[in-house]
Amino acid sequence: MDSKHVSGEKTLLHDKVQIAAKILVVGHFAVGKTTFIGTLSEIPPLRTEETMTQAAAHIDDLKGTTGKTTTTVAMDFGRLTLNERLVLYLFGTPGQQRFVQVWEDMTRGALGALVLVDPQRLKESFAVMDLVEKYGVPYAIAVNHFDGTLARSEEELREALDLLPETPVVTCDARDEKSSANALVALVRYLQSRTR
């Protein structure tokens, strides 16, 4: 699939126009992007995960993560039908700085991005948010709550991440279909509000 031509693509489905929208799922290393897409995708998700090796041990900081043995090296891809007219193509990006070169291609045609953040590692989100802003992709923040993490208020999160007032902030558990879908819906509503 040519990711450059997904956004705004229209196909005739049972005599109704169906719109396919390209959405990025981004975030720093080990924040839950692959899990998020796997939880929501109505098709078996495409994953480009490889086993982590000692060669990257000094680069990929596993502090704050448990049981992580693989990492995305190109992208994740999933599909989610929101309603009879709107289908989302979900593209997950690698979270490490060494994969930044794929971002330019991934952002082409993207309507928006859902930025997953770990409330315990907020500073790691800045580089990702800088990239999303650099490529002019509107975004929402989804705070992925892991087991045992302390809840933070929306005000604290907004201040810590230096967000604009209109940027949506939602919480989710990437392993839970309902809360993940709610995060995606918050992004879609935000994108719709920008076009009115």
Which residue did the predictor score with more confidence, 49 or 140? 140
Q: Looking at residue 171, what is its pLDDT?
A: 94
Euclidean distance between CA atoms 98 and 194, whole angstroms: 32
pLDDT tens-digit map of 158-175: 999 999 999 999 999 999
Which positions ≥6 away from 148 have C-beta within 8 Å? none
Q: What is the dihedral of CA 169, 125, 36, 107, to 10 degrees?
A: 100
- This prediction has a pTM of 0.78
pLDDT tens-digit map of 74-111: 579 999 998 888 999 999 987 656 566 777 788 999 99
pLDDT tens-digit map of 106-122: 899 999 999 999 998 89
Domain 3-195 coded CATH 3.40.50.620 = no
User: Tokens representing 14?
Assistant: 């049972």
Domain ranges in the chain are 3-195
Q: Residue 76 in contact with residue 46, Cβ under 8 Å?
A: yes
